[in-house]
Structure 1
Amino acid sequence: MNFYSLNKKAPNVSFKDAVIKGLAPDKGLYFPESITALEKDFFNHIEYFSNNEIAFEVIKQFVADEIPEKELKEIIAETLSFEFPVVELEENISTLELFHGPTMAFKDVGARFMARCFGYFNKEKTDTQVTVLVATSGDTGGAVASGFLGVEGVDVVILYPSGKVSDVQEKQLTTLGKNIKALEVNGTFDDCQAMVKKAFLDEDLKSYRNLTSANSINVARWLPQMFYFFFAYKQLKSKHKDLVFSVPSGNFGNICAGIMAQQLGLPVKQFIASTNVNDIVPEYLKTGIYSPKPSKQTISNAMDVGDPSNFIRIQEIYKNNDTTLKQHLSSYSFTDKETKEAMVKIKETSNYITDPHGAVGYLGLKEYFKENEGQGVFLETAHPVKFLDVVEPVLGETIEYPQQIKEVIHKEKHAEVISTYSELVSFLKK
């Protein structure tokens, strides 16, 4: 299996090279040369497979022979060492909980898989140091920090927007030490992401550091996110209803992975990209005009993205045919006021506490079901404890820290403050 750049001006590369490079030399995202649907028999008997067995079937064509079967199965077992329960809230609405990993966010899956791939690729070349440079709007930073902590031959540098991540998220990415370094940027997530992209194209900087990314632009972070869509189907198959996934969407890597799962044959009726007021994709689906704009700060901060990187991959899946894309993808945006109201309603009617991102996903299903039917699943992408400054005042409740949070919340923060790209370069050259 080779991967090509979506800008079509760079050589095709192997899975290993796509993982290590992160971004193609022509600035394009990597995309697999082919997507082969899984056998019908696999779906007919999916309830008899373990999560690890499902994940291996899903990912093996993309990894190909770059990682031997035995080692790949070990990587998957270490990645998926926690549960992915589907919890029913209403007759046709359930939530898929993706927060049972070490940093209590869906990104634990991609970050752990990618870190272990790096560990495998680096084990023969411990003298070659790689720097994982990553921008985060919240959960990516913690998941990457946890996933790569102590991995031989890898330094991690995380950029995050000052004052725009929750206290828990900040502690998860600034307190681990060892090979993890945090840079607090005076600006927005888009500013952080712009600096990272610029660094990847800086030939002078690359002579000092071997840079790669752990954002969802990296295929090893993005593709494993297919797994839990299959896990949800396994749990809901017996309902015999058309499956509709609502995904809280910021950089669009997660929903793009879901759409990839559909290309592999997963029976999904519709995907809903549920966004906050950063409504670039909802507007595109209405008008046909894709118009990136500066991100706006909201209570669902992980989705505060004004130019989602992965939407180009979704367009590639549908061969840039807007008609086909709209048949499979709906998108709605919601305000902070609507999000808070949904959080209260869900607690009152189902006695379930969602984080603000999950609440946006719930609203997407409610909007879709005004004119459609199906079995709805919204992704609860992070534990509510990660957004206490929002959840507790909205619900008027105190949420107890789970063990994963207790381990970091009282640790001392270590971060260097920067404001400009030149300051980033100086830090990386030190």
Structure 2
Amino acid sequence: MQKVKNEFQTILVFGLLLFFVTSLYSNEQVIYLKDGKVLTAEIISQTAFKMVVKLSDGTTREISKQDIKKVAFKEVKTPDQKDKNPVVPPTPTPEELAQKEEEAKKQQIADEKAEKRKKQIEEAKRNRLDVFLGLGSSNLNFQGGNFYDQVIAIGSSLGQEGGKFELPTEPKPKGGKASVVEVRYSWNRYVGEIGGQSLTSSSNVQVVGTDGPSNSTFPKIVQGSYDVSMKHIYGNFSYSVFPHPKHDIRPVIGYHQFWTKTEDRNPFTFGAGSASSSFSDQYFGVIPTSVAEVLKGYSYGVQYDVKLGKFEIRTGLHILQLHGFGTYSRTEYTYAPGNGDGQTNGIEVYNKWVAKGAILDLKFLYSWNYGVSFWLGLNSMSWKYTFSDTSLTIKNEDSANEDPVQNLVLGKALFESLVGPGALKETQATTFLIGATYSYDFNK
């Protein structure tokens, strides 16, 4: 009796323990039977004496606990439990390794370029003042004097009788002197310049034609020479779009003003006189002439600098948009000794201009020592004119039979519409310069 009681207690404890454990492990378990069989099944339910399991084929089976030797419960991982065997990432293929190596090279090249560009920008930083002085020769071909002579000559020829006319020849300018001074300040990407030029040249004036009283004509010659001078001041501002220690390109804007004038005080005029009157009307005289012009306006363009060791090339192209005015004054004083006759004629013209052109500037520099450089330069300027407005004054001692209003109206039309536009010339100036530059670097 005692033995049966002990077996009953053992079965009861085993059943309670099995029930408790299976409540924690509801997955498939391994059941070892006393007859040697092994079952893998899911425990569905149990009592103190029996167990109902679900086999892997889906069927259920009831097993007496007296027939069970032991039950092996599979371990259930809790969230906090660490895997004793960590997952090892898969070994990359050769293609993946090659791709990663290529990406690493590209990234390295990109990093090297970024570092190199950063270094170039740092090396291109400037804080320097340059002062340029230069002398040389110039060839200045100013359209002013010949333009006015052409228009007035054609107008005079149209208004005279008996085939009288004047024909000015194209002047041939001669070389003159040039000088330039310029101050340039460079700070990092910004460059500012102010400067001035002085140019001189000379030209010959020659007018041929016929003149004389109303019933006859005789040869007429006007001969002389005049000097031309031009003053030019300017200011430019530019910004480096790609700073580099060896080369630099900068868009530039600027302001320019030009003063040009000629003073011809001694052109000589001579009339041979008519043979029928024994040259009694032969005359002599002078025609002092003055031409002046003022133009001002803005410019835009580009500047490009290149460094080659101790040598440097600086270039600039500036497109000019100008406006201004021009004046012309001519008075003819003549005297005929044979008959004691004298005469004075004069004309004054005021024109408003619009002009468009360009300036090309080129400098070759050689860096010497102590901040001193020597340079050679070429500067070329040119612009063309269009009319904005014209007014004129005519002075004539023998104007009693002339209509001054008609003369002024015809003269205005002559300049602005009839002859003037076709007689317009291009003003050009070319200079060759040699000079020295002193540079002061504030970073040193």
TM-score (norm 2): 0.22
More helix by share: 1
Bigger radius of gyration: 2
